[in-house]
Amino acid sequence: MKNLSLLTFFVVMLCSSAMLAQQAQREVPKEEIININRAGVEEFKYFIQRFEAAILEKERASASTLLEALITRMNLQVSYNLTMSRTDADNPAWAERHKLQKDILQRVRHFRLDFDEPTFPEKANTLLQDLRKFAKSMEDSLTDVENWIRNH
């Protein structure tokens, strides 16, 4: 139940962030939207930490729920970068991030939580590296997000 609550909060927070970004100029201070984006990155990194702990403790249900939460967030982030690559076409970083994140997302989607498989530890380590790379790309995008929000 706790994991479901976290997942629900996570999805609501992300959807709120996307909607706020569209209404930013009239209803919500730009700094608040920027802070929501920063919080989204920190939350994603927290879920990675919790996912890693669940894998180490072989908590199948927690790991599965957290992986789904991560994939949900990643889907939204990939879509966001695709939208921004069209909206802010003068900045090629959006398209580059979209491609990088889309490739990582595809690998994460195909990951199987098979704790009994002999190669699981290596596969899990590779997955965690991919998740951290995705999180780093989210952090890197904050400057572009902030610049775009401040200028529009």
- Domain segments of the chain: what residues? 2-147
54 contacts: CB under 8 Å, gap ≥ 6: 62, 63, 66
Tokens 């894998």, located at residue: 55
CATH 1.20.120 at 2-147, yes or no: yes
Chain-centre distance of CA 118, in angstroms? Answer: 29
In Å, the largest CA–CA distance within the chain is 55
What's the confidence (pLDDT) of residue 2? 54
Name the nearest CA neighbour of 45 among 65, 69, 23.
Answer: 69
Intervals of the chain under pLDDT 50: 1, 24
pTM (predicted TM-score):
0.79
What's the confidence (pLDDT) of residue 148? 87
Name the nearest CA neighbour of 10 among 33, 36, 49, 31.
Answer: 36
Residue 94 structure tokens: 């959006």
What's the confidence (pLDDT) of residue 97? 94
